[in-house]
Amino acid sequence: MSALHIKKGATRHSAYNLRPNFSDVQERHTIAVLVENEPGVLARVIGLFSGRGYNIESLTVAEVDHTGHLSRITIVTTGTPQVIEQIKAQLGRIVSVHDVHDLTVEGPSVERELAMLKVVGDGEKRVEALRLADIFRANVVDSTLTSFVFEITGAPDKIDAFADLMRPLGLAEIARTGVAALLRGD
């Protein structure tokens, strides 16, 4: 009946496979977003990520220019190159966003995070915790006879490593700020 010879049921792939040409390697990118410091701006950014199904590994935000009413949001995200491009383009579309920088692409950049770890214990473990803290250049910011609160700054993997070591030594609680990042050089 048709002029075509349609191969019925010939579809091998789901049409949801939207990006067959694009690499599906997951990449980790650190993106700095300069936004107007106004109510709701963080909700816009977070809503974009949840609404479109993007990942957030870490997100930090604080005002960086009081007179210009600008805040800097640093987002660490993972996705295929295609998704990363979309994330940047979609961020750029938000009216309150001034600037989007992919530090991973524009890099090299330095990344730092601050963490505080409460380690509870006594005896050998307590001594060992203190010794390791020294090696990692973590400071003791609070102590009792049975606990320490360490403060450590560094790249996220350094903090991960320190936390891993503290775990058997009585790590009770950890608070992390998320990543702040800047491009190197001028």
Partner 1 sequence: MTREMTGAKMVVQALKDQGVDTVFGYPGGAVLPIYDEIFQQNDIRHILVRHEQGAVHAAEGYARSTGKPGVALVTSGPGATNAVTGLTDALLDSIPIVVLTGQVPTFMIGSDAFQEADTVGITRPCTKHNWLVKETDKLASTIHEAFHVATAGRPGPVLIDIPKDVQFANGEYQGPKPSASHYHPTVKGDMQEITELVAAMETAKKPVFYTGGGVINSGPAASQLLRELVEATGFPITSTLMGLGAYPASGDNWIGMLGMHGLYEANMAMHDCDLMINIGARFDDRITGRIDAFSPDSKKAHIDIDPSSINKVIRVDIPIVGDVAHVLEDILKVWKSRGRKTDSANVAQWQAQISDWRKVNCLAFTQEGKTIKPQHALARLEELTKDHDRYITTEVGQHQMWAAQYLGFEDPNRFMTSGGLGTMGYGFPASIGVQMAHPDALVINVAGEASWLMNMQEMGTATQYRLPVKQFILNNERLGMVRQWQELLHGERYSHSWSEALPDFVKLAEAFGAKGILCSDPADLDDAIMEMINHDGPVIFDCLVAKHENCFPMIPSGKAHNEMLLGEAETQGVIDSKGSVLV
Q: Does 67 bind partner 1 (CB under 8 A)?
A: no
Q: Does 8 bind partner 1 (CB under 8 A)?
A: yes
Q: Does 185 bind partner 1 (CB under 8 A)?
A: no
What are φ and ψ of residue 14, in 5° steps? -75, 145
Secondary structure (3-state) at 108: coil
Q: Does 151 bind partner 1 (CB under 8 A)?
A: no
Complex with partner 1: residue 81 or 107, whichever CB lies closer: 81
Two tokens at 181? 């990042």
Quick count: other Cβ atoms within 10 Å of Cβ 129? 25
Nearest approach in angstroms of CB 182 to partner 1 is 22
**Sole binder of partner 1 in the list 86, 109, 147, 153 (CB under 8 A):** 86
Residues 98 to 117 in contact with partner 1, rule: CB under 8 A: 98
Contact 176, 115 (CB under 8 A): yes
CA dihedral (131, 137, 138, 142) positive or negative: positive
Two tokens at 29? 């990118």
Residues in touch with partner 1 (CB under 8 A): 1-4, 6-11, 13-22, 36, 39-40, 43-44, 47, 51, 82, 85-86, 89-90, 92-96, 98
